[in-house]
Amino acid sequence: MEGFHRLRLAAVDGLTDDAVALTFAVPDGLRQLFRFRPGQHLTLRTELGGEDLRRTYSVCAPTGGPLRVAVKRLDGGAFSTWACTQLQAGDEVEVLPPAGRFGPAVAASRRRRYGLVAAGSGITPVLSIAATVLAVEPASEVVLLYGNRTARDVMLLEELSDLKDRHPTRLQVLHVLSREEQPSELLSGRLDPHRLGRLLDAFVPVASVDEWYLCGPFGLVTGARELLTARGASSVHVELFHAEAPPPRPPRPQGTAGETTVVAELHGRASTVTMDRDEKVLDAVLRVRVDAPYACRGGVCGTCRARVLEGAVEMDTNWALEPDELATGVVLTCQSRPTTGVLRLAYL
Ligand SMILES: Cc1cc2nc3c(=O)[nH]c(=O)nc-3n(C[C@H](O)[C@H](O)[C@H](O)COP(=O)(O)OP(=O)(O)OC[C@H]3O[C@@H](n4cnc5c(N)ncnc54)[C@H](O)[C@@H]3O)c2cc1C
Ligand code: FES
């Protein structure tokens, strides 16, 4: 399928009892396309039991390092269970090139203090950011607050320890464990917004940090953003792996929704489809373009983004687009319903 590339797995390494790291071999001809910035992610695709499954995984290596993601197995999780139990070195997986804008624009001349907050598998993009910043910006510092259940659950522990050994004075890591006693009461318990507030009081004055990057469960990430903003932080970036679907919209009176003609530009070709305005744009476009990109369908991964060239839409939810993208007409097609009779959009 256009957009996806079959990449061979150079290595599959166990990280914890329920997480693996997948390292892809990138052929010379695709090296440029698969270059990634810190905090970016890949969308992987497979077919299981006749179902097309697509899931997004953040690259967990520094820019310039191996193309590597880490997958944590979820109870009942279709893709993560397959990846953690079936994939082996030498297998091929379909992969979209890196995407996403969660991560700083690193530069050797910058002198910043970065605050990183992660829980569980949320460490993946955060590790990429920390490792890249420490390698590229010699005057910058990183403080990481990282929550897990026990020390055994800490994904990428070895990579974090190596990073700490290489940059002992510029990297500070605070491990918070919810099911394991630690010498400090503050570090023993769930990393939730309340505990985060206490940790900031004790160790990390908010004013000492220039940029914040948060990745973890919905409650932690949204609560932490609220807390940091209330304490005066102005540069707070979030990455969500999963969000509950918003409550269903009340149905419009029958026959009042109307129809929209959608023209979708993708891979240099325009396709037209007529849709009901209560439908999602992505569902309509997929009827005529099976190559339309998507993964989560939940407004978190951003894979389905497109720019509106004519007409307008309303989105149910958005956890993937930053205000500057919204200002230039970028929308998530999996969350968009048209509000005009004609809608022309270009996939990005
Ligand atoms: C931008 C982005 C980056 C991501 N990076 C990573 C990463 O680096 N490592 C990683 O392991 N995962 C990552 N994810 C999550 C990943 O894409 C999948 O959602 C996850 O692996 C579950 O897929 P599954 O098919 O196993 O579960 P599914 O079969 O899709 O779901 C099983 C059940 O779990 C719920 N669920 C699905 N995802 C989550 C979740 N993340 N947290 C809690 N409940 C969930 C579902 O609602 C369902 O009830 C990322 C997601 C996004 C959007
Ligand atoms: S498919 Fe993930 S945001 Fe639309």
229-275 pLDDT, tens digit per residue, is 999 999 999 999 999 877 777 766 666 678 999 999 999 999 999 99
Which residues, given as ranges, of the chain have pLDDT below 50? none
The predicted pLDDT at position 257 comes to 73
- C-beta 130 within 6 A of ligand 2: no
Starting from the CA of residue 239, give the closest ligand: 1
Q: What is the DSSP letter of 59?
A: B
pLDDT tens string 138-171: 999 999 999 999 999 999 999 999 999 999 999 9
Q: What is the dihedral of CA 145, 146, 147, 151, to 10 degrees?
A: -130
The predicted pLDDT at position 244 comes to 83
Tokens for 229? Answer: 């903003």
- C-beta 297 within 6 A of ligand 2: yes
Tokens for 301? Answer: 């991964």
- C-beta 136 within 6 A of ligand 1: no
- C-beta 127 within 6 A of ligand 2: no
The predicted pLDDT at position 2 comes to 64
Ligand 2 centroid, distance to 327 Cα (angstroms): 18
- Residue with the nearest Cα to atom 3 of ligand 2? 299
Which of 80, 244, 301, 322 gets mutated to test ligand 1 (max ligand atoms within 8 A of its CB)? 80
Tokens for 82? Answer: 């397959």
CA neighbor of 282 nearest in space, from 300, 303, 254: 303
Ligand 1 centroid, distance to 57 Cα (angstroms): 8
Question: If DSSP codes are grouped into helix, strand and coil, which group holds residue 238?
Answer: strand
DSSP-assigned letters across all residues of 89-127: TT-EEEEPPPB---S----TT---EEEEEEEGGGHHHHH
Q: Report whether 107 contacts 140 (CB < 8 A).
A: no
- C-beta 296 within 6 A of ligand 2: yes
* Domains annotated on the chain, with CATH: 5-95 (2.40.30.10), 113-240 (3.40.50.80), 259-347 (3.10.20.30)
Ligand 1 centroid, distance to 225 Cα (angstroms): 21
Q: Are strands 141-148 and 67-72 parallel, antiparallel or unpaired?
A: unpaired
Q: Report whether 95 contacts 5 (CB < 8 A).
A: yes
The CA distance from 228 to 236, in Å, is 8
